[in-house]
Chain A
Amino acid sequence: MSETATATKRESGAAAAPGGGGPGFMAGPVGRNLGLVIALAILCAVGVATAGDRFADVNNLLTILRLASVIGVVSIGMTFVIIGGGIDLSVGALVALSSVWATTLATQALAEDVHWIVMVLTAILVGAGAGLVNGVVIAYGKLVAFIATLAMLVSARGLAEIIANRRTQIVQDRDFLSFFSGDVLGIPTLVIIWALVSAAGWVLLNRTTFGRRTFAVGGNAEAARLAGIRVQRHTVLLYVLSGVCCGIAGVMIMARTTTGSSTHGTLYELLAIAGVVIGGTLLIGGRGTIVGTVLGTLLLTTLGNVFTLNNLTSSAQAVAQGVIIVLAVLLQMRLAGGQGRSRKARTPGGPGGVASGASGVPGSPAGALPGGASEPTT
C-alpha cells in the first residue's frame, strides 16, 4: 500500500521536474518532425510568394532535391555519430578525399579496364578507412572526438590536395556519368540514392541491435558499458559508418560536377551538423531521428534556394544560414526542456527508513536520549 502511494508521489514529482506537467506535444519526436514539416511548408509559401513560378517549378524542386541529396547522405552518417554521443567534423574533407582518390588516373584506368564500380568502391573504401582511423583514435586513443576529427579534417583535405596536385580531376567514364546523372521515372538518380541511404539508415537506427546500441551508448555510455555493450567497438563502427556515407557522397558529387576535387565538400561539416540538429537530434547524444535529419537537410537547402531566387548573394545567404542555425538550436534546447539540468535526487541523511532508538541500550551514559521515543514518519 505504502509503496504504491510513494510511487505515485514520486512519479508526479519526476514528471513535474523536466518541463512542468508531462512531456509537451512538441517535445516528442513526432511533434518535432511535424514542426519541421510546418516550417518547410511556410518556407515554400514564402518561396512561392516571393519568386512565384520560378520557385514552384518542377525543375526547381528537382534542383533543390539534387542539391540536398549529397549533403543529405553525409547527414545520415552524422546522425548516427551524434546520437552515439560523438561528432564528426571531418565529413567535408572525407568527401573531397574520396572524390579525389576515386578519380586519379590510376583508379580511372582500372575502372576503364574493369567497370566503373571500381571508382565507387574506391570512394567508399577511402571514406570507411578514414572513418576507421577517426574511430580508433577516439575510442581506443581516448581522444576527444572534436579534436580527432578536426585533425582529420585538416589532414584529409591536405592529402586530397597532394593526390590531386591541386588540380581538378575530370571524370572520364561515360557510363559512370550517364548512370548517376540519369533519372528513374523523372526522379534524379542522386535523389534516389539519398532516399535509399535514408531508408537504410532508418531501418538501421530503429530496427536493429546496432541502432538500439547507438542510442544506449549516446544516452548513457557508462550504463551501456555495464550492461555489456562493447562501447569502444561500437564507437569505431559509428565513425566508419559516417566515413562510408562520406564515400557515397563523394561518388555523388563526382557525378554532379563530373570532377574529383580537393575543394569538394567545403563546410559540409557545418551543414550536416546543422541539418541533424535542426532535425531534433540532441547534440549530447542519446536521442534523434532519421526523418528529422532528412527534413532538416531539406529545410536548409530550400532556404538557400529561396534566397538565390530572390537574388541574395551567397555571402548574405551564409549570414542568414548562421543565424538560422543558432535559432534552431536555441529552439531545440527549449523543447528538450529539463534534459541537462535534471537534479540529482539525493536521499537526505543516508538511506531512509531508519528508525530511532534501540530497545535496550546497556549502560547509556548521561545525556543519552531515551530510545524509541520517536517513530519515523513514513
Chain B
Amino acid sequence: MNEEPRSTGPLLEMRGIVKTFPGVRALGGVDLDVRAGEVHCLLGQNGAGKSTLIKVLAGAHQPDEGTITWAGEQVALTDPQAALRLGIATIYQELDLVPGLTVADNIFLGRETSRFGITRPAAANRVAAELLTRLGHPEIRPATEVGALSAAQQQMISMARALSQDAKLIIMDEPSAVLDNEEVERLFGVIRELAAQDVAVVYISHRLEEIREVGDRITVLKDGRTVATGLPARETPTREVITLMTGRTIEYVFPERRAAVDRGAAPLLEVQDLGLRGSFEGVDLTLRPGEIVGLAGLVGSGRSEILETIYGARRPTSGSVRLGGKQLRPGDVGAAVAAGIGLAPEERKSQALLLDDSVYRNITVSSLNRFARIGLLSGRAERTAAREQVQALDVRPSDETRIARTLSGGNQQKVVLARWLLRDCRVLLLDEPTRGVDVGARSEIYTLVRDLADQGVAVLVVSSEIPEVLGLADRVLVIADGAVVAEAPADALDEHRVLDLVMEGTAHTGTAPHEGEVA
C-alpha cells in the first residue's frame, strides 16, 4: 500500500499547522496527508495535540498558521458547517446524539426532510434504513429511540449521519473505547466497507493491535508536531512507534526519593481482589506508610474508578478494602473519610470545590465537627486552622477568605490538599493532581506530596502523564483494560516500557516486565 504510486493527489493535505492557546502551544507545525479510501491512524500521547488537530480539521478551531488543501484546492475551515459542506465529518468520543429522538430524527437532525414545514417521517425512515444497511446494521430500526440503543449502535447512528452528509472524510476519535471486542470487529468491518467506497477515515486509538488490523498508514504526533507521517500501519515495529511517541525535552523537577520505604512496615491500605463490573477487576494493592504508589494507564483503563472505589464513592462488585487492618464499609465515603482516607478528585472544579465559597470553608468542610461544640461552629477556630494550612502550603494569595473560584489551578489543588491535611489523613488518593496546573506550580505540588509521604502518609497517584507517575512514585502499577498488568519499582521502569504495556494491554507477551519478574 505504501508503494502505491500517487496517481492522484491526496484528498487532504495539511501543512505546518500551528495553533496557540494562551500559555500553551498546542500545535507547533503539524503535517498530515490523507488519501481517499484509506484508513489513516493518528497516534500520540496525551497532550500531543491530537484533539486540537481534529478540532482544526472539524472547523471548531482556527489555526494560527499553516495551510489546508482539500482535493487540490486551498480551503479555510471557518466553522464546523464549512467542514461539513466539504465532506469532513467528525465522530467525537462523547456522541452528540439526542437520546429522546428516533434514529432517523438524529441522522437528519437540522436537515429534516419536510414539505411546507411538515416533516416526512416515512421518507426519512426509508433513507435512514438504507444508510444503516450500507453500514451493515440493518437490524437498527429507524423509528427506535436513540436512548434505547447500545453505545456501539449509537456510534453507528453518528456514522450514518456522517454518510448522509456525503462525507468523504470521517474522523473517529477513539471509537473503540466504548465497545467490546465483538463490536470492535463489526466496527472494523464498517470501516473497511467505507474505505472500499472511497471514503477516507482518520482513526484515533491508543491500541496498537487495532491500528495494525484496520489501519493503512500512521502519522505520529508528539508535543504538537508531526514526528512521522505515512508509516505503513502493519509493518512498522511497535518499538519504533513507541520511540517516536516518547521522550521530552522539559523534565519536570521531581523531589528526590528519600531512604527506601520500610518494606517490613505493616501495610496501611490493603486492597484485595477489588472489582467494579464493567470497569476493572481483580485489583490487589498495598500501601505502606510513607510510600507513594502510582497508577499508570490510559483514560478509560479504569484507573480513576479504582481510586473512587477505594474511596467508597463507587460500590465495588467484588473484593475488599482494609485500612490499618480494619475493613472499610464498601460504597461509603463517610466511612472512608472517617477512617482517614482523602481524595483529590480528577475534576477539581465539579467534584472537589465549592467554587463560590471561601477558601477556608473549602478547607474545613470535611472536618467541621472538630470546630463545633454541640453543632455550634466556632468561626474563629475554623479560620485560624484554615489559615495555618494556607500558610503551610503557601496558597497564593495567602488569604483564607478568598472565593475559591478566583484562585489559579495550582492553588485550588493546594486548597483541596489542605482539606485533607487538616484531617490528618493517613491515605491520600490523588487523581490527576496536576491537571490544569501550570509548570511552576507543578513542582510545588510534587514537593508537597513527597513531604507528606515523608511524614508517613501513604499516597496513591493516578496520572495520564507517564513521566509524572514515574518521577513521583516509589512503585508503579500499570493498568490496562481494567486490570493490573505490571507492578514494579518506579526506577525499574521507563516511559517506553510503561507505554508499551499500556498500549498492548494484557495480550502483550513481549519483553516488558510482568508481575513478579521485576517487583
Contact = CB atoms under 8 A, between A and B. Distances in A.
Interface of A: 1-4, 6-7, 10-11, 14-15, 203, 207-210, 212-213, 215-216, 219-220, 222-230, 286-287, 339, 342, 344-345, 347-365, 367-369, 371-372, 374-378
A7 B408 contact: yes
Nearest to B345: A226
Interface of B: 19-21, 23-29, 31, 46-49, 51-52, 222-231, 240, 243-244, 246-250, 311, 313, 333-334, 336-338, 343, 345, 349-357, 361, 365-366, 368-369, 371-372, 375-377, 379, 396-397, 405-411, 419, 434-436, 438-442, 444, 464-465
Nearest to B368: A209
Given A362-B243, A369-B225, A216 B24 contact: no
A228 B423 CA distance: 11
A227 B250 contact: no
A358 B439 contact: no
Contacts of B409: 10
A357 B48 CA distance: 11
Contacts of B376: 203, 207-208
Contact of A374 (B23, B28, B250, B357): B28
B224 A354 contact: yes
26 contacts: A4-B396, A7-B411, A209-B368, A215-B361, A216-B357, A219-B354, A220-B353, A225-B333, A229-B334, A286-B354, A339-B356, A342-B405, A344-B349, A347-B21, A347-B435, A347-B436, A348-B26, A349-B47, A352-B23, A354-B24, A354-B250, A357-B225, A358-B249, A363-B243, A367-B230, A375-B249
A10 B408 contact: yes
A287 B356 contact: yes
Contact of B361 (A6, A212, A352): A212
B249 A356 contact: yes
B377 A209 contact: yes
Nearest to A12: B406
A73 to B, nearest CB: 21
Contacts of A372: 249
Nearest to A208: B375
A368 B333 contact: no
B440 A355 contact: no
A79 B435 CA distance: 37
Given A349-B52, A357-B225, A226 B24 contact: no
Shortest Cβ-Cβ A-B pairs, 9 listed = A349-B26, A228-B337, A350-B47, A358-B247, A3-B440, A355-B250, A348-B21, A353-B439, A356-B223
A245 B371 CA distance: 27
B408 A11 contact: yes
Contacts of A357: 222-223, 225, 249
- By DSSP majority rule, is chain A's interface helix, strand, loop, or mixed? loop
Contact of B20 (A219, A371, A377): A377
A7 B249 contact: no
Given A11-B406, A220-B353, A376-B24, A226 B313 contact: yes
Contacts of B333: 225-226, 228
B366 A228 contact: yes
Contact of A350 (B48, B249, B441): B48
B222 A358 contact: yes
B247 A219 contact: no
Nearest to B410: A3
A245 to B, nearest CB: 18
B480 to A, nearest CB: 20
A377 B25 contact: yes
Nearest to B353: A223
A210 B365 CA distance: 11
A222 B313 CA distance: 10
Contact of A348 (B52, B338, B440): B52
Contacts of A11: 406-408
A226 B352 contact: yes
A32 to B, nearest CB: 15
B21 to A, nearest CB: 4
A287 B357 CA distance: 9
B244 to A, nearest CB: 7
Contact of A226 (B28, B29, B49, B311): B311
Nearest to A348: B21
A203 B226 CA distance: 62
Contact of A2 (B31, B338, B440): B440
Given A212-B377, A374-B25, A220 B435 contact: no
Contacts of A377: 20, 23, 25
A349 B396 contact: no
B334 A228 contact: yes
A72 B223 CA distance: 61
